[in-house]
Structure 1
Amino acid sequence: IKKSSKAGIQLIIDPSSNTLGIRSLPKNPEDYNLTWYKVGNQTSVPRDKLSRIHQQKSLIWFLPAMLEDSGDYECLCYINCRNLTSCSKMYTKVTVFERVDGLCLNEKFAVEELIFTLSPGRIVCPHLDYFRDEKNTLPVRWYKDCQLLEGKRFSSFNRDLVIFNVTLHDKGNYTCKTSYTYNGKQYNISRDIILSVEGKCLHCCFVHTNDSPKCLDCNATGAAAYSMFWTGNNVNIDVLYMSRIFAKLYE
């Protein structure tokens, strides 16, 4: 789900079915009564959980979302505060896209994220909060350019992907996939991420007695390197601060 400044929401759906949940109010309003409508329809969104489109508390759910669900939705809210009642409306535009078979990424839907080289990087699979609970703990699978990520450099932790020893080659298009079970039926969920990677410089620092550290810069240009490191007398200098000579990341 991607929210815009105009409260619009965009969603890519898989023809095999996907899910969408959108919220009208903050998580914990003190006292309110709200109802969802599709603009132009006098009948409110049903609260029957067996209905494909239904309202749960402040959320409207599409299980699954379909192309014809695109349109403007209105949330009518009555808030009671200190014996005073106010009424407000919020309009949300929902656009449902169909995922094209073989297409690894849709740029209109993708979220942009940034990590840095020379350290582990974490990529977040966004907008999964409402689909993760004690009944929905299926692992999140990660792909880059439609290829499943495997190997010791990649580790999935909850909804995040951790990349060890990040290099500039790790930039690209990523997709996270999982499933959501509701009323005994399983729905597919996927999110697209455009990942950027920026390099860091690596200092080599010398500490003298009663003196501040003196550092040398290591700057790499040209082809993306898989690693940068300092050596002294053919011995690697670790990124530690326990010895007189150490390497230091510069961000």
Structure 2
Amino acid sequence: MMPLVVTLLCLCILKMGGFSASVTQASVQSDVQCLDWGVWSEGAVQVYDGEVAWLYCPLFSHPTLYSYNQTQNSSLSLLWYRHTRTHELEQPINLKLHTLHKDREYLWIQPATAQDAGLYICMLRNISSCVKIGVELEVIQRDKECDPGTRPHLNLTIPMQSDRTLECPDLKTLTLPNSTYSVTWYHLCRSELFIGNRELKGDDLVIYRMYTPYAGLYTCVVSYQMNGRTLQFTRAINITAVVANVGSKVPDILNPASDQIYTVTLGDKATLSCRVHLPHLFKEKQEIWWTIDNKTVEQLADPRFSSPEATLLSEYFGDETKERLLHVMDFSADDLQKEFNCSARNSRGFNTSRAILKSQPYVPTLELGCGLGVTLALMLMMFVVYHVFWLELLLLYRSWFGSDERYTDDKQYDVYISYARNSEEEEFVLSTLRRVLETEFGYSVCIFDRDSLPGGTITDDTLRFVGQSRRLAVVVSPCSTVRGTQALLELQAGLTSMLHGGSLRVVLIQFKPVRWKSWVKELRQARLALTLIRWQGEKSAPLSSRFWKQLQLELPMRRTTDKHMPLPDITQHTHHAENTHPGKEKLIDCYSTSAL
């Protein structure tokens, strides 16, 4: 008979669902195997240091399981043990201590201290059978009589505008009959006068009409006398205000609505949303689910369909709005013919709504995004390359597609160099500019003092040389801004040729910085329309510098395969030109004077 009773006892405990996984092991008290059902996760006890604690044996928590009276009438015995961190084995409870007291299925600790915290185990056993379960006791400290962080012993919901009487939990259990005790109530840890719609009646707190400010944590502290000692315990009740229990309580499906259309993409993942408004019903579980052709996801057993549990979106005085999603992987054309329904149910009624689906062509978003990203990256790279190497690119383009002007005109020189004589510019022109243009780039250069013949006039020869040149390179310096010099005459000749539709182009080379206000009128007008290339000393000396690349871009195109003719000595030409023009104007150093 007894093994059958113990087996029934174990099966009932398993159905209760409030216990952790069991392990069958040998009891340390005897050789009889004891069914160990672990720790009761829902029965943990929290008590303040110095207050009364009582532990209930969970083996008696179900009325049909076993009662304490039946235990007393049978050969089963109720024993209590304790498991602490300092001992590996379970230790029997010493009931001789004045703070410990066993009363039926309860174990009292009056009062509990921090040393009493730990795991307490209640065991039902006889000679041939044994079953046990553990209850955790937590002893916490508090600084004042009321602690707002108290874990509630009871959660209640009270509809708005309704009444409710609050009783201090365990008051009749923990106090002896006919004993003297007092009950102090707190709301949100404030010991205030409960007047108006709330009133203290004896040991209870009556709420005549529930309002929002009355919600929150209520704490009752009970003090009583026992064996000449003053003991107390604290209980907390959490009150939640909910909507009044009026009107329809049937679930309302918000999504999918009657006129709503879900757009899905064939071959892609589709997600359907079911949003439901659930009116508050006290201690009632309300269900939300999806069906596909009147079958739930579990019944369908198709790995392409999945539906996680509903999530809470919002809550208003107990009324909840929840959402449950349906995921369909690799949505196909056949799925469009299926019926997708969102349903919700509670004790007041049932509601369902069908999802209307519409397919749209597959848009390769990833491919288009990658293509657009690559295009933008290439454009950005090309912009950076052009911004940094635009001179090189233009020179390269001109070398591939440009035409040689020597085959389209009858000009004799590529460039005529105009500069101020008897100055620093003359040394720059003869030793640097002329040398690079002729020997490195292969241009035919005309320098008046070198290439003019004796016997002619300066004005006629200047106009003739300028007319026979494709470019006029004007070296701008303080000397070239002086009116009456040959450099100004050469500039005027070049500008006149350009204005009358000639093929001559004028290029300005700034050798020395010149103040804008000191420029002659012709130079100021030319600067607005012509390119100005600045010589920056040693920085511009290498052939790879920006100065030479800009100058090449303004001069006629020459292939790198052109063969250069040997050039006569510059000093001989200069000396010959000075001696063969006795009628030429007497040049002065323009750095010591500003005008002729």
**Shorter chain as normaliser: what TM range?**
0.5 to 0.7
Unaligned runs of 5+ in 1: 204-223, 225-251
Partner of 1:10: 45
**CA shift in 2, pair 1:7/1:88, >3 Å:** farther
| Contact 2:80-2:93 within 8 A present in 1 as well | yes
- Read off the aligned partner of 1:184 and give its amino acid letter: G
Q: Distance in 2 between matches of 1:36 and 1:192?
A: 27
Partner of 1:98: 141
**CA shift in 2, pair 1:120/1:86, >3 Å:** same
- Read off the aligned partner of 1:22 and give its amino acid letter: L
| Contact 1:125-1:160 within 8 A present in 2 as well | yes
| One of 34, 49, 57 as aligned partner of 2:78 | 34
Cα shift at 1:128: 3.0
- Read off the aligned partner of 2:125 and give its amino acid letter: Y
Q: Distance in 2 between matches of 1:129 and 1:194?
A: 20
Runs of 4+ in 1 over 3 A off after TM superposition: 40-43, 107-111, 155-160
| Contact 1:180-1:189 within 8 A present in 2 as well | no
| Contact 1:124-1:159 within 8 A present in 2 as well | yes
Partner of 2:92: 44
- Read off the aligned partner of 2:158 and give its amino acid letter: I
C-alpha offsets along residues 141-174 of structure 1, whole Å, 9 cap, x if unaligned? Answer: 2111222243243334565421112212211221
Q: Distance in 2 between matches of 1:200 and 1:10?
A: 33
Unaligned runs of 5+ in 2: 1-17, 20-39, 61-66, 248-316, 318-596
- Read off the aligned partner of 1:162 and give its amino acid letter: V
Matched residue of 2:129: which SS? strand
| Contact 2:197-2:207 within 8 A present in 1 as well | yes
Q: Which stretch shifts more, 112-121 or 84-93?
A: 84-93
Matched residue of 1:200: which SS? coil
Q: Distance in 1 between matches of 2:56 and 2:245?
A: 43
| Contact 2:152-2:238 within 8 A present in 1 as well | no
Q: How does 1:120-131 map to 2 (within 5 A)?
A: 120-131=163-174
- Read off the aligned partner of 2:197 and give its amino acid letter: R
| Contact 1:10-1:109 within 8 A present in 2 as well | no
Q: Distance in 2 between matches of 1:174 and 1:12?
A: 16
Query: Percent identity among equivalent residues?
Result: 23
- Read off the aligned partner of 1:186 and give its amino acid letter: T
| One of 194, 198, 211 as aligned partner of 2:238 | 194
- Read off the aligned partner of 2:114 and give its amino acid letter: L
Partner of 2:590: none
- For normalisation by structure 2, the TM-score amounts to 0.30
C-alpha offsets along residues 70-105 of structure 1, whole Å, 9 cap, x if unaligned? Answer: 1111222126xxxx9532111111111112337532
| Contact 2:45-2:55 within 8 A present in 1 as well | no
**CA shift in 2, pair 1:181/1:94, >3 Å:** same
C-alpha offsets along residues 92-123 of structure 1, whole Å, 9 cap, x if unaligned? Answer: 11111112337532253453221122221223
Matched residue of 2:194: which SS? coil
- For normalisation by structure 1, the TM-score amounts to 0.65
Q: Distance in 1 between matches of 2:218 and 2:55?
A: 24
Q: Number of residue pairs matched?
A: 195
Cα shift at 1:64: 0.6
Q: RMSD of the alignment, in Å? A: 3.0
Q: Distance in 2 between matches of 1:157 and 1:133?
A: 21
Whichever of the two has the greater Rg, that structure is: 2
Are 2:126 and 1:86 aligned?
no
| One of 184, 187, 203 as aligned partner of 1:144 | 187
